[in-house]
Amino acid sequence: MSVFKTFKAAPFPVRATVSLYALWQLVRLFVQHHFFRQTATRQRYHIADVTAPRVLLTELIDLGFQPNYFALVDQGELFNLRRLIYFAGKLYQEHVRIFPDELRGHLEIAYDYGLGDAIEHVKGTTIQELSDNTILELRNCLASLPPLPVEDD
């Protein structure tokens, strides 16, 4: 499966979707810096090294992850995705970030279920490591990616 199948319902081409995501990332960085007064750093919870971030993006979408448009931007982040789950009586998100060299992720309460959850989300008090099963699923996904072609010198 490819990312193109996922975006079939979009009223404009996929290239425009990726370009709009990049533009939206700049808007998020502006808001993060000027309104939240936060600088872009990398959160903890390293999952694995990455060699093909764009290929990984399509695979994660196939696993049920979707772009997370309202998250802060980490330093060097290429893509920001989440997958919603119901856990311990609340709506949570498995939040992963793809960088050129690594994949990072965590579990936290989702912001879109109610005002109380949104406040908890912004405070960051519910952030925790992803479950062992999710980490294994993500590492297996990375291991199944085709190797990058070797260029002849």
Q: Which helix (H) or strand (E) holds 124?
A: none
**Cβ 96 vs Cβ 104: under 8 Å:** yes
Residues facing residue 46 across a β-bridge: 104
**Cβ 17 vs Cβ 66: under 8 Å:** no
Tell me: the pLDDT tens digits for 65-111?
Answer: 998 877 777 888 888 899 999 878 889 999 999 999 999 999 998 88
Q: Structure pTM? A: 0.71
